[in-house]
Structure 1
Amino acid sequence: MISQQLNDSITRVGPDSAAGAVLRCYWQPAALIEELEYQNPAPVNLLGERLALWRDDTGSFVLAARKAEAGEPSVYHPGPEQIEAEPGGAVYPVVEKKGVVFAYLGDGPVPEFPNLDCFRADDSHVFAFKGLWECNWLQALEIGIDPAHASFLHRFLEDEDPDEGYGKQFRDQVANTNIPMTRVLREFPRPQIEVDETNYGLKITALRHLENGQTHVRVTNQIFPEAICIPMSREMTITQWHVPVDDETCYWMTMFTSFRDPVNKALMREQRLEEHVLPTYAPLKHKGNHYGYDPKEQESVTYTGMGLDINVHDQWAVEGMGAIQDRTQEHLGRSDVAIIRYRRMLREAIAALDRGDRDALPMQGEETSGIIGPLSNDTIAPTANWSGASREADLERRSGCPWDASV
């Protein structure tokens, strides 16, 4: 457990907050380009600031502070005629990456982008989407760096045909086997977890030791300050930011990256629009309708009884903690090692900024553009050489990629 003062310092995101100062040292995914199809200018609510995004006469993106009405809700979509730039307000640097507009809201030097797979893949191999969660960004991030939760929260009680699971996480077979990923998670729920610090954040390895000297290796990553990179299937990864709207609301902003075939963007968008409403990208399942809970489904299909979309399972878990999780009452255990290590990194970054040492933060130096990957996959490997075999499986996948995925 931690003190209330510390919990406030690592969760609050306003301009004068400790964690907010760290987040403002990095590019933040502000909006999907497609949002300008609904409203131009479009409202952007980011890090507690009310902004407007539009294209100017040259086609360039502009992000500026906008006038906000008294009592305006954090997720509010006024019509274009109601959106006005704040006279004399800040205008922020923006960059478009694979259908997402990134913004830099900080002072000082603008950082480089790391050369992550989601940024260097061909446009045809990346699909972006987002969704709204009514909770603080940190608890949204922390569920993504907890490898053990998938065996319970996302437990499927029956295995469906993997060929019908395109665009859905955990619905594939484990690489080089005919074992459904859902079965591995269900039958081996308590992984051994190893965490390594990297130049981008954390590499998190979950080991589920099977029979006959074999181990299922699942490598995921925390990309500082608020992103994760995880395997979605044998051929696709997810890079997902947990973007603060304000202290009590956030968006998950995700880039799906394919190593082999072009992404079926129309299908993946259709799948996600079945669960979300535009233009807010709010989920159709929420606290007001009990996240679609069905006790009959829970009896034989899923652990939660809340449908097959794992985003709904995560949403229920993180929103159920309250708008800002009360960490003064928590008791972390062995499986929370990645959460513990991440909080230490965040606190060290806060302390570094307090003493004026921004260079001590991850991905703030000249070497940032040289950060590539990261490795993120599922595979079955000999227990005696799981680390080397996992890397070889990743290199094999990259070697046949139509875009430059070399590491």
Structure 2
Amino acid sequence: MISAEQNARLTRVGPDTLAGQVLRRYWQPAGLVEELEGQRPVKGVTLLGEALVLFRKPNGAYGLIGRHCPHRGADLRAGRLEEDGLRCVFHGWLYNEHGTCLERPAEPRIAHEGEPRQKAYRCVVKSGIIFAYMGPGEPPAFPAFDCFQAPPEYSFAFKGLWECNWLQALEVGIDPAHASYLHRFLEDEDPEASYGKQFRGAAADAAVPLTKILRDYPAPEIRMEETAYGIRLTALRALDETAMHVRVTNGIFPNAICIPMSNEMTITQWHVPVDDETCYWYSIFTSFGDPVDHKTMRDQRLEMIDLPDYVSKRNRGNNYGYDPLEQATATYTGMGFDINVHDQWAVESLGRIQDRTEEHLGQTDVGIIRNRRMLVRAMDALEKGVGDLPMRGETTDLSALRGPVAIDEIATQQSWQDAWLARDLRRRQSCTWPASEGFENDQ
């Protein structure tokens, strides 16, 4: 249980907040590459409470600048995209991706041609996502995570909007115990038909569906350890006197997770604040086996998501599609078979900003507790001006970080600690892209 003041400190993300300052010191997803592939590659975005406009120049360079022209405040979402940047249609002022005002055609010549400057943030593209750095100084390097190393044909990026604070959205991903309840299916599907569907495949190499293990063994032992990238969570389910199911997931500081979709594919997901009360999840699906079937993956997700704002078709307005008959016979929630909807209901049901003054955490919440402590340490370090931030590179070679490992395995109770690493190593060694290059088990 924490105080209202502590809760606000953890959740608020504006430029003048400590949590917002922490998040701004890391690369944050600002949009999908596919969002700027149309006839007019200009899109208004709100990121960490700041109104911005994202655009792609004809030469392929991306820009993320303030939404309102510094001259008279006109909305640059309606700007004319030109060779050199984005021109305000009110008076013709032209801004490039660095925020420099290149032209003020209606004005007399002014000595300081570069003034005024527009707010601008640098952008890079990684695995189908446009990342932006909104903090001071030089940005950190990107770690050599699998999601950034895989070739385009082995990865797929998508996103969706949740109407809640970013932290409660993140915390569902570092809570391994909830899968046995929130994502419980009362009937199992053929694992062979599980492509692109989380929790619907087979457990490891066993014929038993993962849904059956989660349903039949609902009280895992959760082990947690801090790593160079954040936290590793291991959920252990003793299947009998000898066998153990092992599921390894990760929190990547400050606002990402890495979890298994199957033993062939992982999901790396960021929970990115739009503002204090809304966030997008951005996912990169990474395959260690066959190339990703992009059409199938996209079509599956568009069954539940409306464009252009990537809003869930099941939401508060229609009670997430709740069906009492389905809840009695097919799923634990009665809200369909897409686990993203389950997660969305869970985090949105907490309110726009969860009131943590009334919560009572348990032993399975060890990852949530540790992650909050890491965030508090980072905020304290910024406030006091002492200490390093995790995953910033001050004391860690980010380019040396690999993985993180996200996997399911069934092993003996005596060998589980080595078995999941061995399974991960086998899939890396058989991967057609260099997933095993430089990989170290101790991250």
Name the TM-score, length of structure 2 as normaliser: 0.87
- Aligned amino acid, residue 390 of structure 1: W
Q: Deviations over 1:63-110 (max 9, x none)?
A: 111129xxxxxxx99666799578632111110001100000000221
Instruction: Determine which of 169, 181, 185 is the counterpart of 2:198.
Output: 169
Partner of 1:7: 7
1:23 aligns with 2:7: no
Name the TM-score, length of structure 1 as normaliser: 0.95
1:248 aligns with 2:277: yes
The more displaced of 342-351 and 85-94 is 85-94
Alpha-carbon distance between aligned partners in 1 of 2:294 and 2:245, rounded to the nearest angstrom: 30
1:134 aligns with 2:167: no
Instruction: Determine which of 384, 409, 416 is the counterpart of 1:379.
Output: 409
8 A contact 1:66–1:89 mirrored in 2: no
* Matched residue SS, 1:153: coil
8 A contact 2:53–2:64 mirrored in 1: yes
Instruction: Determine which of 347, 355, 371 is the counterpart of 1:342.
Output: 371
Alpha-carbon distance between aligned partners in 2 of 1:89 and 1:216, rounded to the nearest angstrom: 54
Q: Deviations over 1:176-232 (max 9, x none)?
A: 211100000000011000000000000000000111411000000000000000000
Alpha-carbon distance between aligned partners in 2 of 1:398 and 1:35, rounded to the nearest angstrom: 32
1:393 aligns with 2:391: no
RMSD: 1.8
Alpha-carbon distance between aligned partners in 2 of 1:282 and 1:81, rounded to the nearest angstrom: 27
Q: Deviations over 1:34-91 (max 9, x none)?
A: 11134521112110011111112322111111129xxxxxxx9966679957863211
Instruction: Determine which of 362, 386, 404 is the counterpart of 2:391.
Output: 362
How many equivalent pairs are there? 400
8 A contact 2:47–2:274 mirrored in 1: yes
Higher helix share: 1
Instruction: Write the mapping of 1:18-167 to structure 2, written as runs, cut at 5 A.
Output: 18-38=18-38, 39-67=40-68, 88-167=117-196
Assess, with a 3 A threshold, how the Cα gap between structure 1 residues 137 and 389 changes in structure 2: closer, same or farther: same
Mark the runs of 5 or more structure 2 residues left unpaired by the alignment.
70-74, 89-94, 100-115
The more displaced of 163-172 and 76-85 is 76-85
User: Which structure has the larger Rg?
Assistant: 2
Alpha-carbon distance between aligned partners in 2 of 1:282 and 1:78, rounded to the nearest angstrom: 20
Assess, with a 3 A threshold, how the Cα gap between structure 1 residues 26 and 358 changes in structure 2: closer, same or farther: farther
Give the fraction of aligned pairs with identical amino acids, expressed as a percent: 56
- Aligned amino acid, residue 249 of structure 2: T
* Matched residue SS, 2:295: helix
Partner of 1:311: 340
Mark the runs of 5 or more structure 1 residues left unpaired by the alignment.
69-75
* Matched residue SS, 1:199: coil
Assess, with a 3 A threshold, how the Cα gap between structure 1 residues 358 and 279 changes in structure 2: closer, same or farther: farther
The more displaced of 393-402 and 49-58 is 49-58
8 A contact 2:53–2:77 mirrored in 1: no
Assess, with a 3 A threshold, how the Cα gap between structure 1 residues 245 and 67 changes in structure 2: closer, same or farther: same
Instruction: Determine which of 217, 220, 224 is the counterpart of 1:195.
Output: 224
8 A contact 2:163–2:279 mirrored in 1: yes
Assess, with a 3 A threshold, how the Cα gap between structure 1 residues 51 and 386 changes in structure 2: closer, same or farther: same
| Structure with larger RCO (C-alpha < 8 A, sep 6+) | 1
- Once the two structures are TM-superposed, the CA of residue 165 in structure 1 deviates from its matched residue by 1.2
Alpha-carbon distance between aligned partners in 2 of 1:359 and 1:96, rounded to the nearest angstrom: 26
